Structure 1
Protein backbone atom coordinates (compact mmCIF):
# COMPACT_ATOMS: atom_id res chain seq x y z
CA UNK A 1 0.00 0.00 0.00
CA UNK A 2 1.34 3.37 -1.02
CA UNK A 3 1.14 6.33 1.25
CA UNK A 4 0.60 9.71 -0.22
CA UNK A 5 2.42 12.39 1.67
CA UNK A 6 0.75 15.51 2.95
CA UNK A 7 2.96 17.72 0.76
CA UNK A 8 1.08 17.44 -2.58
CA UNK A 9 -2.32 17.77 -0.92
CA UNK A 10 -1.17 20.80 1.04
CA UNK A 11 0.27 22.35 -2.12
CA UNK A 12 -2.98 21.84 -4.02
CA UNK A 13 -4.93 23.42 -1.19
CA UNK A 14 -2.53 26.34 -1.00
CA UNK A 15 -2.78 26.90 -4.77
CA UNK A 16 -6.56 26.97 -4.50
CA UNK A 17 -6.48 29.50 -1.68
CA UNK A 18 -4.03 31.69 -3.59
CA UNK A 19 -6.12 31.46 -6.74
CA UNK A 20 -9.33 32.39 -4.92
CA UNK A 21 -7.54 35.29 -3.20
CA UNK A 22 -6.08 36.53 -6.47
CA UNK A 23 -9.45 36.37 -8.22
CA UNK A 24 -11.02 38.24 -5.31
CA UNK A 25 -8.42 41.01 -5.56
CA UNK A 26 -8.86 41.31 -9.31
CA UNK A 27 -12.64 41.34 -9.02
CA UNK A 28 -12.58 43.92 -6.24
CA UNK A 29 -10.18 46.13 -8.16
CA UNK A 30 -12.28 45.89 -11.29
CA UNK A 31 -15.45 46.75 -9.37
CA UNK A 32 -13.75 49.76 -7.77
CA UNK A 33 -12.43 50.93 -11.16
CA UNK A 34 -15.84 50.61 -12.83
CA UNK A 35 -17.64 52.36 -9.97
CA UNK A 36 -15.24 55.34 -9.95
CA UNK A 37 -15.22 55.41 -13.75
CA UNK A 38 -19.00 55.70 -13.87
CA UNK A 39 -19.09 58.69 -11.53
CA UNK A 40 -16.13 60.40 -13.21
CA UNK A 41 -17.39 60.18 -16.78
CA UNK A 42 -20.95 61.08 -16.02
CA UNK A 43 -22.70 57.85 -16.93
CA UNK A 44 -25.42 56.58 -14.68
CA UNK A 45 -27.21 59.92 -14.29
CA UNK A 46 -24.29 61.98 -13.01
CA UNK A 47 -23.40 65.25 -14.71
CA UNK A 48 -20.70 65.38 -17.38
CA UNK A 49 -17.24 66.70 -16.61
CA UNK A 50 -16.41 70.42 -16.86
CA UNK A 51 -13.51 71.51 -19.08
CA UNK A 52 -11.94 74.78 -17.95
CA UNK A 53 -9.32 77.15 -19.41
CA UNK A 54 -7.95 80.39 -18.08
CA UNK A 55 -7.94 83.17 -20.65
CA UNK A 56 -5.81 86.21 -19.96
CA UNK A 57 -8.53 88.72 -20.88
CA UNK A 58 -11.43 90.39 -19.07
CA UNK A 59 -14.78 88.51 -19.08
CA UNK A 60 -16.31 91.18 -21.36
CA UNK A 61 -13.63 90.44 -23.96
CA UNK A 62 -14.05 86.67 -23.74
CA UNK A 63 -17.86 86.58 -24.10
CA UNK A 64 -18.91 89.95 -25.57
CA UNK A 65 -22.61 90.46 -24.94
CA UNK A 66 -22.91 86.95 -23.49
CA UNK A 67 -22.06 85.31 -26.84
CA UNK A 68 -19.64 82.42 -26.84
CA UNK A 69 -16.53 82.56 -29.04
CA UNK A 70 -17.08 81.06 -32.51
CA UNK A 71 -15.43 77.66 -31.92
CA UNK A 72 -17.74 77.02 -28.94
CA UNK A 73 -20.79 78.63 -30.55
CA UNK A 74 -20.81 75.77 -33.10
CA UNK A 75 -22.03 73.44 -30.35
CA UNK A 76 -25.20 75.51 -29.89
CA UNK A 77 -27.51 74.32 -27.12
CA UNK A 78 -25.68 71.00 -26.64
CA UNK A 79 -23.24 72.54 -24.13
CA UNK A 80 -23.45 74.45 -20.88
CA UNK A 81 -20.92 77.18 -20.07
CA UNK A 82 -19.82 79.33 -17.15
CA UNK A 83 -17.69 82.46 -17.18
CA UNK A 84 -16.06 83.77 -14.02
CA UNK A 85 -13.06 85.85 -13.04
CA UNK A 86 -9.92 83.83 -12.45
CA UNK A 87 -8.49 83.89 -8.92
CA UNK A 88 -6.03 86.68 -8.20
CA UNK A 89 -7.23 88.84 -11.09
CA UNK A 90 -5.46 86.61 -13.64
CA UNK A 91 -8.05 86.89 -16.38
CA UNK A 92 -11.19 84.82 -16.96
CA UNK A 93 -12.06 81.20 -16.44
CA UNK A 94 -14.22 79.75 -19.20
CA UNK A 95 -15.81 76.39 -18.32
CA UNK A 96 -17.87 74.22 -20.66
CA UNK A 97 -19.42 70.77 -20.49
CA UNK A 98 -21.67 68.71 -22.75
CA UNK A 99 -25.28 68.43 -21.63
CA UNK A 100 -25.53 64.80 -22.73
CA UNK A 101 -23.48 62.24 -20.82
CA UNK A 102 -20.67 60.62 -22.79
CA UNK A 103 -21.30 57.29 -24.45
CA UNK A 104 -19.99 54.22 -22.72
CA UNK A 105 -18.95 50.74 -23.75
CA UNK A 106 -19.51 49.80 -27.38
CA UNK A 107 -21.03 53.20 -28.22
CA UNK A 108 -17.86 54.91 -27.01
CA UNK A 109 -15.65 52.67 -29.14
CA UNK A 110 -17.81 53.24 -32.22
CA UNK A 111 -17.81 57.01 -31.65
CA UNK A 112 -14.02 57.01 -31.31
CA UNK A 113 -13.56 54.94 -34.48
CA UNK A 114 -15.96 57.21 -36.36
CA UNK A 115 -14.13 60.33 -35.18
CA UNK A 116 -17.22 61.72 -33.47
CA UNK A 117 -16.09 62.14 -29.90
CA UNK A 118 -17.85 65.12 -28.37
CA UNK A 119 -15.35 65.44 -25.52
CA UNK A 120 -12.36 65.75 -27.83
CA UNK A 121 -14.15 68.20 -30.12
CA UNK A 122 -15.21 70.28 -27.12
CA UNK A 123 -11.67 70.39 -25.71
CA UNK A 124 -10.30 71.40 -29.13
CA UNK A 125 -12.92 74.16 -29.44
CA UNK A 126 -12.06 75.42 -25.97
CA UNK A 127 -8.37 75.65 -26.86
CA UNK A 128 -9.25 77.45 -30.11
CA UNK A 129 -11.46 79.92 -28.20
CA UNK A 130 -8.56 80.65 -25.84
CA UNK A 131 -6.20 81.28 -28.78
CA UNK A 132 -8.73 83.55 -30.51
CA UNK A 133 -9.34 85.60 -27.37
CA UNK A 134 -5.65 86.01 -26.53
CA UNK A 135 -4.00 86.35 -29.96
CA UNK A 136 -6.80 86.94 -32.45
CA UNK A 137 -6.05 83.77 -34.42
CA UNK A 138 -5.96 80.02 -33.91
CA UNK A 139 -2.37 78.94 -33.60
CA UNK A 140 -1.45 75.65 -35.22
CA UNK A 141 1.69 73.67 -34.54
CA UNK A 142 3.80 72.70 -37.52
CA UNK A 143 4.46 69.01 -37.92
CA UNK A 144 7.99 68.11 -36.90
CA UNK A 145 10.52 67.91 -39.70
CA UNK A 146 12.77 64.89 -39.56
CA UNK A 147 16.43 65.66 -39.04
CA UNK A 148 18.97 63.42 -40.69
CA UNK A 149 20.66 61.02 -38.33
CA UNK A 150 24.47 60.94 -38.14
CA UNK A 151 24.45 57.66 -40.05
CA UNK A 152 22.50 59.30 -42.89
CA UNK A 153 25.01 62.14 -43.06
CA UNK A 154 27.90 59.71 -43.34
CA UNK A 155 26.10 57.73 -46.06
CA UNK A 156 25.27 60.90 -48.00
CA UNK A 157 28.89 62.03 -47.78
CA UNK A 158 30.15 58.64 -49.02
CA UNK A 159 27.80 58.74 -52.02
CA UNK A 160 28.82 62.32 -52.73
CA UNK A 161 32.51 61.35 -52.76
CA UNK A 162 31.75 58.46 -55.05
CA UNK A 163 30.07 60.86 -57.44
CA UNK A 164 26.60 59.38 -57.38
CA UNK A 165 23.45 59.89 -55.32
CA UNK A 166 21.22 57.13 -53.96
Structure 2
Protein backbone atom coordinates (compact mmCIF):
# COMPACT_ATOMS: atom_id res chain seq x y z
CA UNK A 1 0.00 0.00 0.00
CA UNK A 2 2.86 2.39 0.85
CA UNK A 3 4.47 1.73 -2.53
CA UNK A 4 1.24 2.52 -4.36
CA UNK A 5 0.82 5.82 -2.50
CA UNK A 6 4.47 6.77 -3.06
CA UNK A 7 4.18 5.89 -6.75
CA UNK A 8 1.03 7.99 -7.15
CA UNK A 9 2.66 10.93 -5.36
CA UNK A 10 5.74 10.64 -7.56
CA UNK A 11 3.65 10.61 -10.73
CA UNK A 12 1.66 13.57 -9.45
CA UNK A 13 4.85 15.50 -8.72
CA UNK A 14 6.26 14.73 -12.15
CA UNK A 15 2.97 15.76 -13.76
CA UNK A 16 2.95 19.02 -11.82
CA UNK A 17 6.52 19.74 -12.87
CA UNK A 18 5.70 19.12 -16.53
CA UNK A 19 2.62 21.36 -16.31
CA UNK A 20 4.66 24.19 -14.79
CA UNK A 21 7.32 23.81 -17.46
CA UNK A 22 4.73 23.92 -20.25
CA UNK A 23 3.00 26.89 -18.64
CA UNK A 24 6.25 28.85 -18.42
CA UNK A 25 6.93 28.16 -22.10
CA UNK A 26 3.48 29.46 -23.06
CA UNK A 27 3.93 32.55 -20.90
CA UNK A 28 7.29 33.32 -22.54
CA UNK A 29 5.77 32.81 -26.00
CA UNK A 30 2.84 35.11 -25.15
CA UNK A 31 5.22 37.75 -23.77
CA UNK A 32 7.25 37.64 -26.99
CA UNK A 33 4.08 37.98 -29.09
CA UNK A 34 2.69 40.79 -26.93
CA UNK A 35 5.95 42.73 -27.07
CA UNK A 36 5.87 42.71 -30.85
CA UNK A 37 2.10 43.24 -31.18
CA UNK A 38 0.98 46.31 -33.05
CA UNK A 39 -1.92 48.31 -31.63
CA UNK A 40 -3.93 49.72 -34.54
CA UNK A 41 -6.73 52.18 -35.23
CA UNK A 42 -8.32 53.06 -38.55
CA UNK A 43 -8.57 56.79 -39.17
CA UNK A 44 -11.12 58.10 -41.65
CA UNK A 45 -8.58 60.29 -43.47
CA UNK A 46 -5.99 59.89 -46.22
CA UNK A 47 -2.39 59.09 -45.12
CA UNK A 48 -1.26 62.59 -46.16
CA UNK A 49 -3.77 64.11 -43.72
CA UNK A 50 -2.75 61.78 -40.88
CA UNK A 51 0.91 62.78 -41.08
CA UNK A 52 0.46 66.44 -41.96
CA UNK A 53 3.77 68.07 -42.93
CA UNK A 54 5.62 64.88 -41.99
CA UNK A 55 4.75 65.21 -38.28
CA UNK A 56 3.04 62.61 -36.16
CA UNK A 57 -0.16 63.59 -34.35
CA UNK A 58 0.68 65.30 -31.05
CA UNK A 59 -0.45 62.47 -28.70
CA UNK A 60 1.87 60.01 -30.49
CA UNK A 61 4.67 62.56 -30.80
CA UNK A 62 4.60 62.97 -26.99
CA UNK A 63 5.70 59.35 -26.61
CA UNK A 64 8.80 60.11 -28.69
CA UNK A 65 11.36 57.34 -29.10
CA UNK A 66 9.56 54.95 -26.75
CA UNK A 67 7.30 53.71 -29.56
CA UNK A 68 7.49 52.54 -33.15
CA UNK A 69 4.81 53.93 -35.50
CA UNK A 70 3.40 52.44 -38.70
CA UNK A 71 1.15 54.36 -41.11
CA UNK A 72 -0.38 52.74 -44.18
CA UNK A 73 -3.46 52.94 -46.32
CA UNK A 74 -6.36 50.88 -45.01
CA UNK A 75 -7.60 48.00 -47.18
CA UNK A 76 -10.15 49.01 -49.80
CA UNK A 77 -9.19 52.68 -49.61
CA UNK A 78 -11.13 53.11 -46.37
CA UNK A 79 -8.85 55.61 -44.68
CA UNK A 80 -5.52 55.04 -42.97
CA UNK A 81 -4.30 52.43 -40.55
CA UNK A 82 -2.34 54.08 -37.76
CA UNK A 83 -0.40 51.66 -35.61
CA UNK A 84 2.09 51.83 -32.80
CA UNK A 85 3.86 49.49 -30.43
CA UNK A 86 6.03 50.12 -27.38
CA UNK A 87 9.74 49.48 -27.78
CA UNK A 88 10.18 48.73 -24.08
CA UNK A 89 9.62 45.20 -22.89
CA UNK A 90 6.11 44.66 -21.67
CA UNK A 91 5.38 42.97 -18.35
CA UNK A 92 3.81 39.51 -18.21
CA UNK A 93 2.03 37.37 -15.67
CA UNK A 94 1.46 38.84 -12.22
CA UNK A 95 3.66 41.85 -12.98
CA UNK A 96 1.43 42.62 -15.98
CA UNK A 97 -1.66 42.74 -13.77
CA UNK A 98 0.09 44.94 -11.21
CA UNK A 99 1.44 47.25 -13.93
CA UNK A 100 -2.01 47.63 -15.48
CA UNK A 101 -3.64 48.35 -12.12
CA UNK A 102 -0.92 50.88 -11.33
CA UNK A 103 -1.12 52.50 -14.77
CA UNK A 104 2.51 51.63 -15.55
CA UNK A 105 1.96 49.26 -18.48
CA UNK A 106 3.55 50.85 -21.59
CA UNK A 107 0.71 49.51 -23.76
CA UNK A 108 -1.79 51.69 -21.88
CA UNK A 109 0.00 54.86 -22.93
CA UNK A 110 0.14 53.66 -26.54
CA UNK A 111 -3.59 52.80 -26.58
CA UNK A 112 -4.45 56.18 -25.10
CA UNK A 113 -2.22 58.02 -27.61
CA UNK A 114 -3.74 56.14 -30.56
CA UNK A 115 -7.29 56.87 -29.41
CA UNK A 116 -6.48 60.56 -28.83
CA UNK A 117 -4.69 60.80 -32.20
CA UNK A 118 -7.71 59.35 -33.99
CA UNK A 119 -9.99 61.88 -32.29
CA UNK A 120 -7.65 64.79 -33.07
CA UNK A 121 -7.36 63.87 -36.74
CA UNK A 122 -11.05 63.18 -37.33
CA UNK A 123 -12.75 65.80 -35.14
CA UNK A 124 -10.04 68.33 -34.25
CA UNK A 125 -10.33 67.72 -30.50
CA UNK A 126 -9.97 64.89 -28.01
CA UNK A 127 -13.37 63.67 -26.94
CA UNK A 128 -13.67 62.87 -23.24
CA UNK A 129 -16.42 60.31 -22.60
CA UNK A 130 -15.56 60.18 -18.88
CA UNK A 131 -17.46 63.41 -18.23
CA UNK A 132 -20.79 62.60 -16.57
CA UNK A 133 -23.68 62.74 -19.02
CA UNK A 134 -26.12 63.60 -16.24
CA UNK A 135 -26.08 64.75 -12.64
CA UNK A 136 -28.73 62.20 -11.65
CA UNK A 137 -27.13 58.91 -10.58
CA UNK A 138 -28.88 55.79 -11.80
CA UNK A 139 -28.01 52.12 -11.16
CA UNK A 140 -26.85 51.68 -14.76
CA UNK A 141 -24.81 54.88 -14.52
CA UNK A 142 -23.03 53.61 -11.43
CA UNK A 143 -22.08 50.41 -13.25
CA UNK A 144 -20.75 52.47 -16.15
CA UNK A 145 -18.78 54.70 -13.76
CA UNK A 146 -17.24 51.63 -12.15
CA UNK A 147 -16.27 50.25 -15.57
CA UNK A 148 -14.69 53.57 -16.58
CA UNK A 149 -12.66 53.67 -13.36
CA UNK A 150 -11.41 50.10 -13.85
CA UNK A 151 -10.46 50.79 -17.48
CA UNK A 152 -7.27 52.51 -16.29
CA UNK A 153 -7.40 55.39 -18.74
CA UNK A 154 -7.87 53.13 -21.76
CA UNK A 155 -11.42 54.27 -22.45
CA UNK A 156 -14.79 52.86 -21.73
CA UNK A 157 -15.68 49.21 -22.25
Task: Pick from 9, 20, 23 the counterpart of residue 27 of structure 1.
Answer: 20
Distance verdict in 2 for CA 1:96–1:23, change over 3 Å: same
Gaps of 5+ in 1: 1-7, 43-47, 150-166
Name the larger-Rg structure.
1
TM-score (normalizing by structure 2):
0.69
In the alignment, structure 2 segments of 5+ residues that lack a partner are: 141-157
Instruction: Determine the C-alpha separation between the residues in 2 that align with 1:27 and 1:77.
Output: 37
Partner of 2:60, secondary structure, is helix
Check conservation: 2:42, 2:82, Cα contact below 8 A: yes
> Hey, what does 1:146 align to over in structure 2?
137
Question: Cα deviation per residue 1:43-63 (whole Å; 9 max; x = unaligned)?
Answer: xxxxx3321111111111111
Deviation at 1:128, TM superposition (A): 0.6
Q: How does 1:91-130 map to 2 (within 5 A)?
A: 91-103=79-91, 112=100, 115-130=103-118
Q: What corresponds to 2:9 in structure 1?
A: 16
Q: Tell me by how many angstroms 1:117 deviates.
A: 2.7
- Counterpart of 2:147 in structure 1 is none
SS of residue paired to 1:75: helix
Give the superposition deviation at 1:127. 0.4
TM-score, structure 1 length as denominator? 0.66
